[in-house]
Amino acid sequence: MTALTLVDIGANLGHDSFDADREAVLERARAAGVAALIVTGSSLDDTEKAIALARRHPEMLRATAGVHPHHAASLPDSDSGRLAALLADPIVVAAGECGLDYFRNFSPPAEQRRAFELQLRIASDAGKPLFLHQRDAHADFMAMLRAHPQAAARSVLHCFTGGAQELADCLALGLSVGITGWICDERRGQELREAAPRVPLERLMIETDAPYLLPRTLHPKPAHRRNEPAFLPAVLAEAARCRGETPEALAVATTANACRFFGLTLARDLAADPTMPLKLV
């Protein structure tokens, strides 16, 4: 039985880079202590794939339902019913990944704001928390969340990469924060490393965002350069180092936070084998 029990709150497990070995990826994640994993939905079709994956592994997986800002232009208002139906699935634990991304503007900013507003309303109607994305759009992102304070207070900003001021703005609205392998990047992650100790322990969660953001602290690094949930302990270790905490204590806190935020329950089948690892029930 592994010493640490972790929850990966965001992995793109439906990505085609996992098509050849998805079952082995899940086995390696279990061996690394990942008891539960939230499969990210980033478009309507991708959400359906995430739900199907979670249904095949209900002891470990749950899903989100949403449309990433990159795909905002492909979410017409007329598809709101389809998204609401996906979000209503019991195996879906959050709305998203949704938000704003002005870094590449794969969808025009106006379309991003429209799609984000639509998803804020749908999530509020469904009573489910939000799994949020923001890059290079902080001012507009904050303004939109301030117009939905109840939704904001039930949100996690996934893959937070900002500094102290952006963090303060998010915390003031009640957001939780997800930290990825960005914190392991000594080149790009310095602001996050400095801000990480300011995140209240009860509002911190960890994630891989696999297959992206392979932790640079991994030694040796995998030859394929693909990130996967089994590498979540590297994120935990670096976050703990930056915060001056032990990995063991941070594992307990972030797992409890994820279970509370997403409504997860982890338990062992004590009747069958008391040494079995925790699993979703």
Q: What is the pLDDT of residues 232-256, one digit of tens each?
A: 999 999 999 999 999 999 999 999 9
pLDDT exceeds 60 at position 2: no
At 183 the pLDDT is 98
At 217 the pLDDT is 97
Per-residue DSSP letter, 106: S
- Mean pLDDT taken over the chain: 96
pLDDT (mean) for 131-149: 98
pLDDT (mean) for 11-28: 98
Confidence band of 141 (pLDDT split at 50, 70, 90): very high
pLDDT (mean) for 69-87: 97
At 250 the pLDDT is 98
Measuring CA to CA, how many Å separate 192 from each of 183, 199, 205, 238? 6, 10, 14, 11
What does residue 262 show for φ and ψ, rounded to 5 degrees?
-95, 0
pLDDT exceeds 70 at position 9: yes
More confidently predicted of 277 and 106: 106
At 273 the pLDDT is 73
pLDDT exceeds 70 at position 35: yes
The residues facing 7 across adjacent strands are: 36
Confidence band of 1 (pLDDT split at 50, 70, 90): very low
Measuring CA to CA, how many Å separate 132 from each of 46, 178, 208, 258, 279? 16, 10, 15, 15, 25
Confidence band of 277 (pLDDT split at 50, 70, 90): confident
Measuring CA to CA, how many Å separate 189 from each of 120, 184, 195? 29, 7, 10
- The domain segmentation of the chain, as residue ranges, is 6-280
Model pLDDT for residues 194-235, shown as the tens digit of each residue: 999 999 999 999 999 999 999 999 999 898 899 999 999 999
At 223 the pLDDT is 87
Residue 125: both structure tokens together: 């109607």
Confidence band of 268 (pLDDT split at 50, 70, 90): confident
For the CA atoms of 45, 50, 54, 60, the dihedral, rounded to the nearest 10 degrees, stands at 180
Q: Is 267 left (phi over 0), alpha (psi -120 to 50) or beta?
A: beta
At the top level of CATH, the class of 6-280 is alpha beta
Least confident of 79-83, 249-253, 266-270: 266-270
Angle (deg, nearest 10), helices 247-262 and 232-243? 110
At 92 the pLDDT is 98
pLDDT (mean) for 148-171: 97
pLDDT exceeds 70 at position 33: yes
Confidence band of 275 (pLDDT split at 50, 70, 90): confident
